[in-house]
């Protein structure tokens, strides 16, 4: 695109006004406000070049219902919001007190404080009426107000737009508009208007993308002046030809292509022949439907979904040259790490992990400017291929913070693999798929959802705007194949006895002490009780969500070596822990969980006829899965058992969907109309709360000595980083990321009304003195914690 020429307000053309200052080699360098504004627009142009931003924004504006001249007007309003985001730095108090600009010493009394974001919003509205707007419609005025709100919040967090009223009382003396005061007084009215747009969700995405561009382009421009580092979005070049060549030359891909040419070559390997059939069908259906926005990949556990996802990603890059970024999104960090190992041979240095325990990617040289560049890449997800968590992905779509929004820019023109989507709270499935279809359609994202129990969420939509496509036409063809369906025998005899005592369960489990046995409970406390009951009589191991990553990996290595043991666990093993057991016992909960559990038994399909899963009833599932619509469809019901045996998950989901539609159609706060109103009013905080995947919790840091790692020393290192004043912000954040994995060994998440009395708080963690009292072989003993502090730690 050609360079964008913006008309700056006359006051901004005064080169006395600065945007930033820096000290270099003992000398002070300055950047004018006009220069910073132009550099910010340069970064917008960079995103237009690399991520197709202009086309996306114009498409969003049209999707909101604007046409013709109004469409162009709104686009210009959008651009000027980026350009004028810092116009309020003309504030003389900001110039003098923040930038040490002595030219404005005498003018300081004209400003009440040194803030500039609200002033920028005020000047933006003033300037738009002077050069662009003439008797605008209500819809255009609403865009103006909402864009001004994004400017106002560009140094903080987004909140609820319907509360935006600060401009009504603007009285600063250093700049007074000569416009009719009612223009500013009506801003709150425009923000609260919710009946303007045909698609409130598209309007929400438009405003959110603007906020990401204002804050993102501003951040990049400021960093370029302060550090000399110019940021370029990392994208996949040439439709991923190099990546595709590497994958196509791999042993596994060549093997599949040989099967494609001659299926007889796999006559002695029926399980891999079946996997190859599934692989090729998914590829064929993807290539046949290039116009789709969201694809479903439903395949049995052990069918090779990760390999299929790699191939499908590369085929998307091949069939759509505009796609140039890849995101793999997982519910658990363990899944991220497992998938990273599988992807590294193909994607190598183009791949980066963004989560709470993985260090920031650094180059070989660790100079100050390298820290700045590395941290900027990290917060922008500025890598060709990103592996991240569901929480980080949802933060990009719905989070209120500046840095949470930055990855939204990279998500434009990307392919996103969403793994285990059924793990999302189903109380918001309807909202999730509504947002995903709009994000996919408007930001040109190809989303591939994959799972062994995959709900086709578009059935929850009132209107289907995006195109959905199933990559496997008849999943039952694979699910009911003897190699998959017969992999594990289901036994309901314990369930039919009613509630079972732990002693009775122990006798049943110990019959198989010479095998690899998995026993899964719903509650951590029950798992520990059963472990205490069994540990003297067998080789028992406890694995719950209260284990460190190091201990969990150690247990998995023991299983991989073929050690005969009884693994007593919670739902943490259902996804994210890659194990292959011979016998299973499970406390019943949700149908999805039952199937995920079965995926841990005879995963390799090598134990023909000998693998059995026993189901029993002990804890009340509704206490853990409170509000889950799937609770009504338990395998206590013989008909639901039949669905599980025949892998007919679609029949259960049809019932669950009817329940969810009914709940979100009633006249209460769960009604979908409330979501649309919040989108129309750009009520970001309300939407973030609604779309939160994980309830608010406390992070306890409980130190002890684990092998050669001393938790007390790790805590002191963590605190020392925060107090090291000589270290720059970017370097400090990189160093924090390096310490994150060690911190995670001693960090435990609890849900509780209040924190333990006397706990030391630092950096969002609560330090529990004398942690050894509450740790048994690397596992948190919540009973002891509750005895000491009182109350319940969930």
Across residues 604-613, what is the average pLDDT? 78
What is the spatial distance between Cα 704 and Cα 702, in angstroms, rounded to a whole number? 7
The verdict on residue 751 lying in a domain is yes
Position 626 scores a pLDDT of: 84
Q: Where is pLDDT greater, at 772 or 94?
A: 94
Position 162 scores a pLDDT of: 95
Across residues 664-680, what is the average pLDDT? 84
Mapping DSSP to helix (H, G, I), strand (E, B) and coil, where does residue 386 land? strand
| 461 and 520 housed in the same domain | no
Cβ(424)–Cβ(367) below 8 Å: no
Across residues 466-476, what is the average pLDDT? 93
| 491 and 436 housed in the same domain | no
Q: Taking 80 as the threshold, does the pLDDT of residue 242 lie above it?
A: yes
Q: What are phi and psi of 780, to 5 degrees?
A: -70, 130
Q: Where are the alpha helices (DSSP H) in 64-115?
A: 68-83, 92-93
pLDDT, tens digit (0-9, with 9 covering 90-100), for 269-289? 888 999 999 999 999 999 999
Mapping DSSP to helix (H, G, I), strand (E, B) and coil, where does residue 353 land? strand
| 450 and 572 housed in the same domain | no
What is the spatial distance between Cα 52 and Cα 55, in angstroms, rounded to a whole number? 6
Cβ(406)–Cβ(216) below 8 Å: yes
| 618 and 522 housed in the same domain | yes
**pLDDT category, 533, cuts 50, 70, 90?**
very high
The verdict on residue 663 lying in a domain is no
Across residues 217-230, what is the average pLDDT? 94
What is the spatial distance between Cα 680 and Cα 608, in angstroms, rounded to a whole number? 56
Edge-to-edge order in the sheet of strand 612-616 = 489-491, 612-616, 583-587, 517-520, 566-569, 540-543
Tell me the two tokens of residue 682.
């750009």
| 497 and 472 housed in the same domain | no
> In the chain, how many domains are there?
4
The verdict on residue 667 lying in a domain is no
Q: Where is pLDDT greater, at 125 or 464?
A: 125
> With left for phi above 0 and alpha for psi between -120 and 50, is residue 562 left, alpha or beta?
left
Which helix (H) or strand (E) segment holds residue 226: the answer is helix 200-227
By residue count, the chain amounts to: 794
669, 671, 675, 676: CA torsion to nearest 10: -130
| 214 and 116 housed in the same domain | yes
Domain boundary, last residue among 429, 455, 476: 476
Position 339 scores a pLDDT of: 82
Tell me the two tokens of residue 605.
């399909």
| 304 and 421 housed in the same domain | yes
Output the domain CATH number for residue 424: 3.40.50.300
Domain boundary, last residue among 476, 496, 525: 476
Q: Count, in order, helices (H) and strands (E) of the chain.
A: 33, 23
Q: Where is pLDDT greater, at 794 or 546?
A: 546
State the distance between the two ends of the chain, measured CA to CA, in whole angstroms.
Answer: 55
pLDDT, tens digit (0-9, with 9 covering 90-100), for 386-432? 999 999 999 999 999 999 999 999 999 999 999 888 888 888 999 99
Across residues 626-654, what is the average pLDDT? 91
Output the domain CATH number for residue 192: 1.10.3210
Q: Taking 90 as the threshold, does the pLDDT of residue 376 lie above it?
A: yes
| 460 and 384 housed in the same domain | yes
The verdict on residue 673 lying in a domain is no
Mapping DSSP to helix (H, G, I), strand (E, B) and coil, where does residue 469 land? strand
Q: Taking 70 as the threshold, does the pLDDT of residue 635 lie above it?
A: yes
Across residues 234-251, what is the average pLDDT? 92
Q: What is the DSSP annotation of 679-724?
A: HHTTBHHHHHHHT-SS---EEEE---EETTEEHHHHHHHHHHHHH-
The verdict on residue 674 lying in a domain is no
What is the spatial distance between Cα 278 and Cα 311, in angstroms, rounded to a whole number? 12
Task: Look over the chain and give the mean of its residue pLDDT values, rounded to a whole number.
Answer: 90
Residue-range definition of the domain harbouring residue 187: 10-227
| 402 and 537 housed in the same domain | no
Tell me the two tokens of residue 645.
């045996």
Quick one: 178 exposed, middle or buried, by C-beta within 10 A (0-12, 13-18, 19+)? exposed
The verdict on residue 686 lying in a domain is no
**pLDDT category, 754, cuts 50, 70, 90?**
low
Residue 294, C-beta contacts closer than 8 angstroms, at least 6 positions apart: 436, 437, 440, 446, 447, 448, 449, 458, 466, 467, 468, 469
Tell me the two tokens of residue 445.
């994202």
Q: What are phi and psi of 748, to 5 degrees?
A: -130, 135
Which helix (H) or strand (E) segment holds residue 468: the answer is strand 468-470
What is the spatial distance between Cα 161 and Cα 196, in angstroms, rounded to a whole number? 15
Which helix (H) or strand (E) segment holds residue 655: the answer is helix 649-663
| 495 and 554 housed in the same domain | yes
Domain boundary, last residue among 177, 195, 227: 227
Tell me the two tokens of residue 564.
């005969």
pLDDT, tens digit (0-9, with 9 covering 90-100), for 253-266? 999 999 999 999 99
| 472 and 556 housed in the same domain | no
pLDDT, tens digit (0-9, with 9 covering 90-100), for 472-481? 999 989 988 8
**pLDDT category, 142, cuts 50, 70, 90?**
very high
Q: Taking 90 as the threshold, does the pLDDT of residue 321 lie above it?
A: yes
pLDDT, tens digit (0-9, with 9 covering 90-100), for 156-205? 999 999 999 999 989 999 999 999 999 999 999 999 998 888 899 999 99
Which segment of 81-90, 164-173, 327-336, 461-470 scores lowest on mean pLDDT? 327-336
Cβ(741)–Cβ(549) below 8 Å: yes
Position 768 scores a pLDDT of: 87
Q: Where is pLDDT greater, at 221 or 751?
A: 221
Q: Taking 70 as the threshold, does the pLDDT of residue 658 lie above it?
A: yes
What is the spatial distance between Cα 501 and Cα 625, in angstroms, rounded to a whole number? 22
What is the spatial distance between Cα 494 and Cα 496, in angstroms, rounded to a whole number? 5
Q: Where is pLDDT greater, at 489 or 707?
A: 489
Could you tell me the CA-to-CA distances from 682 to 163, 392, 404, 500, 695 in Å, in that order?
10, 21, 17, 51, 23
The verdict on residue 682 lying in a domain is no
What is the spatial distance between Cα 93 and Cα 167, in angstroms, rounded to a whole number? 19
Q: Taking 80 as the threshold, does the pLDDT of residue 577 lie above it?
A: no
What is the spatial distance between Cα 86 and Cα 215, in angstroms, rounded to a whole number? 11
Position 723 scores a pLDDT of: 83
| 620 and 752 housed in the same domain | no
Position 794 scores a pLDDT of: 53
Q: Where is pLDDT greater, at 190 or 663?
A: 190
pLDDT, tens digit (0-9, with 9 covering 90-100), for 15-71? 999 999 998 877 899 999 999 999 999 999 999 999 999 999 999 999 999 999 999
Residue 649, C-beta contacts closer than 8 angstroms, at least 6 positions apart: 453, 454, 455, 591, 592, 595, 643
Across residues 662-686, what is the average pLDDT? 87
Q: Where is pLDDT greater, at 84 or 667?
A: 84
Across residues 354-360, what is the average pLDDT? 85
The verdict on residue 571 lying in a domain is yes
Q: Taking 80 as the threshold, does the pLDDT of residue 1 lie above it?
A: no
**pLDDT category, 320, cuts 50, 70, 90?**
very high
């Amino acid at each position: 695109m050609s360079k964008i020429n913006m008309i700056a307000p006359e006051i901004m053309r005064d080169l006395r006004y600065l945007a930033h200052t820096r000290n270099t080699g003992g000398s002070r360098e300055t950047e004018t406000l006009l220069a910073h504004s132009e550099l910010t627009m340069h970064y917008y142009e960079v995103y237009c070049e690399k991520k197709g931003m202009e086309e996306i924004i114009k498409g969003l504006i049209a999707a909101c219902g604007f046409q013709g001249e109004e469409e162009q007007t709104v686009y210009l309003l959008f651009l000027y919001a980026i350009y004028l985001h810092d116009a309020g730095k003309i504030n003389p108090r900001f110039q003098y007190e923040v930038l040490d600009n002595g030219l404005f010493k005498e003018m300081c009394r004209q400003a009440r404080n040194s803030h500039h974001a609200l002033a920028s919003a005020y000047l933006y509205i003033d300037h738009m009426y002077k050069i662009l707007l003439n008797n605008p419609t209500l819809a255009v005025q609403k865009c103006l107000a909402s864009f001004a709100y994004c400017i106002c919040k560009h140094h903080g967090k987004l909140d609820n737009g319907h509360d935006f009223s600060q401009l009504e009382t603007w009285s600063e003396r250093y700049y007074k508009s000569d416009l009719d005061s009612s223009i500013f007084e009506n801003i709150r009215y425009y923000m609260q208007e919710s009946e303007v747009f045909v698609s409130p969700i598209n309007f929400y995405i438009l405003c959110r993308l603007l906020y990401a561009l204002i804050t993102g382009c501003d951040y990049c421009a400021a960093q370029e002046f302060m550090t000399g580092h110019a940021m370029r979005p990392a994208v996949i070049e040439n439709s991923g030809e190099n990546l595709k060549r590497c994958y196509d030359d791999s042993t596994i891909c060549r093997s599949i292509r040989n099967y494609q040419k001659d299926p007889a070559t796999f006559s002695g390997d029926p399980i891999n022949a079946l996997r190859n059939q599934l692989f090729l069908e998914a590829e064929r259906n993807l290539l046949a439907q290039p116009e789709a926005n969201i694809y479903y990949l439903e395949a049995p556990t052990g069918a090779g979904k990760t390999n299929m996802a790699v191939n499908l990603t590369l085929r998307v890059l091949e069939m759509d040259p505009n796609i140039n970024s890849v995101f793999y999104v997982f519910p658990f960090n363990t899944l991220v790490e497992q998938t990273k190992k599988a992807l590294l041979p193909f994607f190598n240095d183009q791949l980066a992990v963004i989560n709470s325990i993985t260090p920031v990617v650094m180059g070989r040289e660790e100079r100050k400017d390298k820290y700045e560049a590395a941290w900027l890449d990290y917060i922008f997800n500025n890598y060709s291929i990103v592996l991240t968590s569901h929480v980080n992905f949802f933060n990009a779509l719905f989070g209120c913070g500046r840095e949470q929004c930055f990855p939204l820019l990279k998500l434009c023109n990307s392919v996103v693999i969403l793994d285990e989507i059924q793990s999302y709270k189903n109380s918001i499935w309807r909202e999730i798929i509504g947002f995903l279809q709009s994000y996919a359609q408007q930001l040109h994202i190809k989303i591939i959802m994959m799972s062994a129990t995959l709900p086709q969420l578009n059935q929850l939509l009132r209107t289907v705007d995006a195109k959905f496509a199933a990559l496997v036409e008849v999943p039952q063809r694979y699910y009911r194949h003897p190699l998959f369906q017969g992999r594990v025998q289901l036994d309901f005899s314990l369930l039919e006895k009613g509630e079972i005592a732990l002693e009775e369960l122990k006798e049943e489990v110990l019959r198989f002490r010479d095998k690899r046995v998995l026993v899964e409970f719903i509650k951590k406390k029950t798992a520990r009780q059963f472990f205490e009951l069994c540990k003297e009589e067998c080789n028992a191991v406890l694995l719950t969500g209260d284990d460190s990553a190091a201990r969990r990996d150690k247990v998995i290595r023991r299983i991989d070596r073929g050690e005969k043991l009884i693994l007593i666990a919670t739902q943490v093993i259902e996804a994210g822990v890659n194990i292959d057991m011979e016998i299973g016992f499970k406390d019943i909960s949700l149908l999805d969980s039952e199937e995920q559990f079965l995926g841990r038994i005879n995963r390799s399909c090598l134990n023909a006829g000998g693998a059995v899963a026993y189901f029993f009833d002990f804890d009340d599932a509704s206490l853990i899965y409170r509000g889950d619509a799937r609770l009504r469809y338990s395998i206590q019901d013989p008909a639901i058992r039949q669905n599980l045996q025949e892998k007919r998950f679609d029949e259960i989901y049809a019932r669950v969907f009817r329940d969810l539609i009914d709940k979100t159609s009633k006249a209460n706060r769960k009604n979908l109309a409330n979501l649309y109103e919040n989108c129309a009013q750009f009520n970001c905080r309300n939407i973030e709360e609604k779309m939160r995947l994980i309830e608010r919790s406390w992070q306890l840091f409980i130190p002890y000595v684990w092998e050669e790692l001393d938790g007390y020393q790790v805590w002191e290192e963590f605190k020392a980083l925060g107090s090291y004043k000589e270290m720059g912000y970017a370097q400090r954040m990189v160093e924090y990321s390096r310490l994150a994995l060690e911190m995670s060994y001693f960090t435990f998440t609890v849900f509780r009304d209040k924190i333990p009395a006397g706990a030391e708080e630092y950096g969002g963690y609560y330090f529990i003195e004398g942690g050894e009292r509450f740790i048994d072989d690397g596992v948190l003993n919540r009973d002891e914690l509750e005895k000491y502090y009182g109350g319940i730690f969930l």
